Amino acid sequence: MTDEAQASPEPLPPLTAIPADLQSLADYERRAEAHLAPHVWRHIQSGAGAELSLAANRAQYDRRRLVPRALADMRGATSDVDLFGLRHAAPILLAPVAYHRLAHPQGELATINAATALDTTMVVSTLSSIPLEDIAEAARAAARELRKPAPPPLWFQLYVQPDREHTAELVRRAEIAGYQVLVFTVDASAKRAGFALPPGVEAANLRHWPGVTQDSRPADGRILLGTPLLDAAPTWQDLAWLRTLTRLPIVVKGLLSPDDARTAREQGADAIIVSNHGGRVLDGLAAPLDMLPAMAEAVDGALPLLLDGGIRHGTDVLKALALGASAVLVGRPQIHALAVAGMQGVAHMLHILRAELELAMAQTGRPTLSAIDESLLF
């Protein structure tokens, strides 16, 4: 046992009630460290390299200011948004995050129960620690218990697998399980691993397939280029192939280039998530919010743009919408809340963020999402 492990206290168990001092996403982040093993906390919080992109993702919101319009008529105001003909109660989704059981024993089941209670779509990761079918069934069961006609729309995030048939099987499983949107992640095919999963946590959707391992790389001095790992990375041909494979809407996640946005549109994408993978893959990447106006100009309204990275306040959501996003996704905060208070924590975190957004809309005189535009920003 290392000196660090000997000195580290046991993580606190999840809270069974929400204390009065938990009033913001930042409060959850501060508390979460005590509820997670030190190596898990570092894994969740870390970014690539010197973490310049990680810091920029947050700073991109802080440097923008709002210009409110006074005396707006707010009767009938709503934060509803329609994506692919599916209603979302607010333009806030839970981003795909791997291995929720690192934060809580119930893992993704706790998260989907919270998301269903708050009418929020959860984008389920290929690397979920609970099978995708069980998560979808939990959503339907939660909706029945809450007497809702149906759970929020179900989205599944797809990592292309080295064997194309395995990728096709994941798509078929998602369709059969009732997922309504496919999120094709393209920006994390080659990244450093460096994190060993603890016992009892695994990629539940992939447990019966062998992956590409370091042992399969050539022993001729090559590091990454020219190895099976990079040879298996997705290309535009994979997007075209996916388009022939499924009728589900395909959202391409992980684009920052306006040229790539135009190509994605041409190749059959139905939407784009502007993202640098939370600053976790390559340091020095542009911040998504900074790229959003150019991305919006590139697609010219032909398909929705979503955005993730650094969202911590309702005003952050408002700023993203003002620059052209149709919705945003929240990543790390869901894990902070899950670690602190399980299902209740995630539900409370979502309530805080949506309440902050609605307050910001009211204070800036924007009764609907369609009323939010760039004139809101100084």
The residue with tokens 């093993």 is: 37
Torsion 2-201-338-50 (CA) sign: positive
Region of 71 on the Ramachandran plot (φ > 0 left; ψ -120 to 50 alpha; else beta): left
Choosing from 35, 100, 277, 348, the catalytic residue is: 277
159 CA to centre of own chain = 14
Element (H, E) at 237: helix 236-245
Q: Which token pair is 57? A: 């993702």
Cα dist from 277 to 73, 239, 310, whole Å: 38, 19, 10
Nearest one of 62, 92, 54, 61 to 286, comparing CA atoms: 54
Query: 153 near 91, Cβ under 8 Å?
Result: no
Say how far residue 204 (Cα) sits from the centre of its chain.
18
**285/282 Cα distance (integer angstroms):** 7
Pairing state of beta strands 271-274 and 305-308? parallel
Q: Give helix then strand counts, H and E, for the chain.
A: 13, 10
* Residue 138: both structure tokens together: 């939990």
**Which residues does residue 87 pair with via DSSP β-bridges, in sequence order?**
82
Active site residue 39: no
CA nearest neighbour of 298 among 324, 322, 335, 317 = 324
Count of Cβ atoms closer than 10 Å to residue 232 Cβ:
16
Active-site residues, by number, are 277
